[in-house]
A and B are shown apart, each in its own frame.
Chain A
């Protein structure tokens, strides 16, 4: 089924933000916003949930802490208890101070790389993937709001267009997608 998408282009982030606020108040669903830089405060207006990547980072971090602890305990206590100057590693706790630096580094390593990888996958950005911004200018100085007709079924196309008209856009475009 073909779907109609309306793109409204703005040349200022504040104009777009005010426009979005006005439209949302009238019950319009802003499906997506494309911008060349983060527009602060747009997320709650158009209903974008805050990311949970922070929680993921924490989970990756404690995974790193645990892996480092388990591995070092095995290497230095179980498999080959190293005895340096009569100070053997009888238990992990005996010598834990020496293991702190590596534990910390490995925690950071896992948290940073785990989070970066999740970020790439969740954003669907990977080397070679095609870009999906509607206009090349949205990575320069233009800001685009996307309205999917399927998400705005209570308005007709004309009604929606006339509402968008009040927001001070600079260009209006529409596209059919399958």
Chain B
């Protein structure tokens, strides 16, 4: 077993045993849902259904109902798409990259972060689909033989790369998430008493029995999926940034976009994880598993990625002047002093200044402060995309076609609706799925659990057999 320094804060607080972990995670599923759950679910459902209504109206009428015009042909749709994809970057990063780096604290948050990722990517997927206008022809993005002769999709286009990137990312994330869920569904299957849930969890657990060979394969599959998902995470948002970076629009065709977007995605994704986790740990009484230390680790990630994003903003600004291209320079002068100055400065405040506060230890260990900052960061990241997209195109080369973007109520409805739908999915997940990886948490109990760590002989159990455990048997 991996030995951990005693000075390191334990990851599982309290004197938990294996069965305590099972009971703690399964309890919210087995108990009746609290009233608050129904209240939140109803609110989210109403907002989500309003969004669905707006989408139906949009599809029935055409995308003219959005606040777009001839100059600004891309605004809230792509802003919301990039925002949601960005949020959808934390889950797989936590489960894949942190797995490769053997970060044990990921165990507390990976399951729900991955769920969040999947739902966020669903929401992201809605926008390019409805932006097509005739959504029933969405299958045209797939290279299939067709009745138009030798007409194929354009593999030179970043928009098509996006199709492949997003669909691969979504499906691989789902598989990764589900493979981890199977043993936990088996735990639930063997625990629940009522016949219908038992049947459901039995189907969901695929007949998992926990044989030694199964676990051997499980660990290998997790490791390889992590290895595959790690470059995937980076590629997806790089490709999203290519949508802009390969264009010829001043303010968009920036070579630093891929790393800058990836850092921004991780930044906003972790902020969303914080928002959700801080509420969830309280509501589901999981304070022993997700505690200040976990929040602090995530805040450090937010601080680092926030600093990368801040550096990128300033680099962009400097290069626009240093390049000597007057159109490029104008795009950026217009960005911070033109009619969209308020969006630019909101972005700067939320994304550059607020994460720097995390250098202060009491602040990054304060749950209330973290919760506020996490929301501020997500507002800032929405503005970032809005600033990049709208402020770059609203004043193009021909001043007579300069314009402003005013969102219509359908723009607003679709956006707010996706937030509602996202919470509908997340609340359903929190109600019926094990929100912490039960099996994986048990593997770190002895190395990182409080009762085992602080025991002087390092071995908490007693009584059975001759417990002569050498600490170096892996």
Contacts and interface: CB of A to CB of B under 8 A. Distances in A.
B155 A76 contact: yes
A54 B224 contact: yes
B156 A95 contact: yes
Interface string B7-44: 00000000001110010000000000000000000000
Interface string B269-289: 000000000000000000000
B187 A127 contact: no
A112 B212 contact: no
Contact of B442 (A36, A106, A128, A166): A36
Among B152, B209, B439, the one with the most A-chain Cβ atoms within 10 Å of its Cβ is B209
Contact of A133 (B158, B168, B210): B210
B155 to A, nearest CB: 5
A149 interface: no
B190 A133 contact: yes
A151 interface: no
A112 B228 contact: yes
B228 A111 contact: yes
Contacts of A119: 179, 217-218, 221
Interface size class of A (residues with CB under 8 A): 35 or more
A53 interface: yes
Interface in A77-107: 79-80, 82, 84, 95, 98-99, 101-102, 104-106
Contacts of B232: 105, 108
Given A33-B212, A35-B212, A51-B213, A40 B1 contact: yes
A108 B449 CA distance: 36
B208 interface: yes
B464 A116 contact: no
Given A76-B152, A101-B235, A139-B190, A53 B221 contact: yes
A140 B360 CA distance: 41
Interface string B185-222: 01101110000000000111111111111111111110
A53 B217 contact: yes
Contact of B211 (A32, A50, A168): A32
A51 B220 contact: yes
B474 interface: yes
Given A33-B212, A50-B216, A84-B156, A14 B469 contact: yes
A38 interface: yes
Contacts of B464: 10-12, 15, 168-170
A166 B224 CA distance: 39
A129 B207 contact: yes
A98 B156 contact: yes
Given A50-B220, A127-B204, 14 more contacts: A36-B183, A43-B216, A53-B217, A54-B224, A71-B143, A75-B153, A79-B152, A102-B155, A112-B175, A112-B229, A120-B206, A127-B206, A138-B190, A168-B466
Ranked nearest first, the 8 interchain pairs of A and B with the lowest CB-CB distance are A168-B465, A129-B207, A141-B18, A136-B190, A168-B464, A125-B206, A38-B215, A141-B19
13 contacts: A17-B473, A38-B218, A50-B220, A53-B224, A76-B156, A101-B164, A105-B164, A115-B225, A122-B217, A123-B217, A129-B206, A131-B190, A133-B210
